[in-house]
Structure 1
Amino acid sequence: MKGIIFLIAMSAIITSCNQKPAEEQRTEDLSTPIEQVSKHEKIKDKALFNIEDIAYSDHDLGNFPFFTFPNGLKERAKPLINRFDVCFFPIDSVMTPFEGKLYRVDVVSEQGEQFSKHYFEKSMETYLSSIGGVKIYDGEISRKEYDRYNKQFQRRGGQGDIGYFDEHIKFYVIRSKDKGNIYVQFSADNISGKLNVLQEEDFQQTITKITADDILKDLTQKGKAILYINFDVDKSDISTDGKNIVNQIAKALTKDNSLKIAIEGHTDNTGDAAYNKKLSNDRAHAVMFDLINQNIDKSRLSASGFGAERPLLANDSEDNKAKNRRVELLKIN
């Protein structure tokens, strides 16, 4: 009899040792790429969060980002606003990606006043609750969870960067029939606060194929064509996609044999200015040499690089920086 009891006890101990803590199992289950866990429907499959359980707010939420700062507080610097981005929010202690229009900002006191963590958090929680916001999370993520999700989406820093393992995060969801799903998270210490607002949206593909007719139309009507030709990273080698666009430039020049163009390379302001200028010059010349190899007379072409000297937009967001990394064709006759 004692032997039977001993065997049962040992079996229970072995079974217990082979079982991982629930939190650890949950974290490992969610260690999938962002492309596989980017919508709440997929999170719902894991029984962590169901947006359908949240009642619609009947309040007029206004326009993105939907609310002001509390009196006496202001943004530290110009906020990051991206038309489409990804942001991680804590659900059941797991940082989970959502996509849409993103607003991120650091919050500080106006000059001469001391920042109050309690005042910032109390203001945010009271207002969000008053407009139908539902608190989803209030706590800190583990170091293990931080390391897990940071591998697939390394911290970018900058304005309003939330999601560190020693950071207390408060996370609310507002569900609106006309504004969609709105996700709000914030954190604070005794010096400043951070705020993220994401209006969930589906990705819309805006890339279309560049044709020779498009290039000719821009050159004729505007005097220039702005193109986004892909190159190898930190090199002047034209990628396969970039080669397709250069082929269309060649077709445009073949259609109008009198057309002469200047090819200008441009970059954003990331990195060393002298290096960027040389890189943009090399890339402009790479386009020119490719056109010459396609039997376009060299006398019809010139090439130069300007680095970050002539931005289309301020280099204050990733979207704007991407638009500044371009090749311009200028009609010179």
Structure 2
Amino acid sequence: MKNILKLGILVVVFAFFSCKNNKESEVKQPQESKEKEAPALNKNETTEATTTQKEFTWDTVTPSTVDIGAYPYITPPKGMIVDKDGSESFEFDKLEFFDGNTFFVLDGRVERMQIKMEGDKEWQQYLFDKSVSEYLKSIGANLIFEGQIPSELTKKWGDNPNAIYKHMHEFYGADVVNHPVRFYVLKTEDKKIAFQVSSNSKTISVVENKAFVQTIEKVTADQIFKEITDKGIATLHINFDTGKSRIKADSYEIISEISKMMKSNLDLKISIEGHTDNVGDAASNLKLSKNRAQAVLMAIVEEGISEARLKSEGFGQTKPVGDNTTDSGKAKNRRVELRKL
């Protein structure tokens, strides 16, 4: 009987402690769950902090006090030259830069230089990289990014490969989608300059920041007459269909102003002279310039001006006023001149 009683007591004690342990487990379980959730909250907070992007500001760039030379502020290393066939110059254009966090665009005078070895020798990539980086450092330029721009960022430039490459060619002088690039900024007391450097693309692109100045002015009869009176010649940029002598609709306002000038100055006689750039062969350009000058003459006649007061001539590409190796120079050469007879 005593043994049975002892056994019963042991069963009750064992049951009591088992129940207590189960309750403690139930109480502790939520605490363990909370401890597991805590790191997830910290991770979210960290992610939010790292995705906060600070925009580039020139205020953080230390000004250079050394002599940086003349624009474009850098030349190819010894043994290398600028390949003019692959290079471009712009009086006003833009380049885009990346500082590791955000992109920013700089407007101004732009030089896109394609570099090659003298004498068609084998490309010396390390010489190029070392020479350029050491020189830019010596004039106080700051390296703000080196490497390949993350693909997840370049993919935002367009919804298809063509759109992405269009953006790249518009804002960069190198293939920054497939190759690494270095971006530098240089500030002096009165200048803000930036460089794109790519040894893989063999390019150096430079932009010197300057404010945009609007140069478009309305062409009026009085202005044309004043220019002819003062200089003996007035230069006009009349738009034609590409490779043709048909005047575009947006240039008929200029034709009307020429006619007004002729009607206000009845003794005035003029020679209408056409000029082209050097794109294409010389014979074709000469013929095109003659046809365009004649087209302007006929348009003025249709406005009521006597053909006896007018003559036309074309000179093709023989009298350039701009550099035919640049887009801006070619644009200057594609012109119509009114010369006083």
Aligned length: 292
**Structure 1 residues 70 and 54, CA gap change in structure 2 (3 angstroms):** same
Pair 1:87 & 2:90 matched: no
Mapping of residues 1-333 of structure 1, within 5 Å: 47-77=54-84, 79-92=87-100, 96-111=104-119, 114-141=122-149, 142=151, 144=155, 147=161, 148-152=163-167, 154=169, 161-178=173-190, 180-189=191-200, 193-232=202-241, 236-239=245-248, 241-271=250-280, 276-277=285-286, 279-332=288-341
**Structure 1 residues 46 and 296, CA gap change in structure 2 (3 angstroms):** farther
Contact 2:55 2:101 in 1 (8 A): no
TM-score when normalising by structure 2? 0.72
Shift of 1:149: 4.5
Q: Which residue of 2 aligns with 1:29?
A: none
Aligned mates of 1:232, 1:97 — CA distance in 2: 33
CA-to-aligned-CA distance 1:174-202 (integer Å, 9 cap, x gap): 12222x2101111114xx82111110111
**Structure 1 residues 240 and 162, CA gap change in structure 2 (3 angstroms):** same
Q: Which residue of 2 aligns with 1:34?
A: none
Which letter maps to 1:67? I
For the pair shown, the structure with the greater C-alpha radius of gyration is 2
Q: Could you say what secondary structure the match of 1:247 adopts?
A: helix
TM-score when normalising by structure 1? 0.73
Name whichever of 131-140 and 111-120 sits farther off: 111-120
Give the RMSD, CA atoms, in angstroms. 3.6
Aligned mates of 2:78, 2:199 — CA distance in 1: 16
Which letter maps to 1:120? F
Which letter maps to 2:126? H
Name whichever of 45-54 and 147-156 sits farther off: 147-156
Q: Could you say what secondary structure the match of 2:90 adopts?
A: strand
**Structure 1 residues 293 and 153, CA gap change in structure 2 (3 angstroms):** farther
Shift of 1:315: 1.0
Name whichever of 200-209 and 71-80 sits farther off: 71-80
Shift of 1:296: 0.7
Aligned mates of 1:114, 1:238 — CA distance in 2: 49
Q: Could you say what secondary structure the match of 1:328 adopts?
A: strand
Q: Could you say what secondary structure the match of 1:312 adopts?
A: coil
Contact 1:95 1:149 in 2 (8 A): no
Aligned mates of 1:315, 1:108 — CA distance in 2: 22
> Which sections of structure 1, spanning at least 5 residues, go unmatched?
27-44
Aligned mates of 1:61, 1:314 — CA distance in 2: 27
Shift of 1:232: 4.9
CA-to-aligned-CA distance 1:119-171 (integer Å, 9 cap, x gap): 11111112212322111221224363574453357569xxx932342232111
> Which sections of structure 2, spanning at least 5 residues, go unmatched?
1-25, 27-32
Identity %: 36
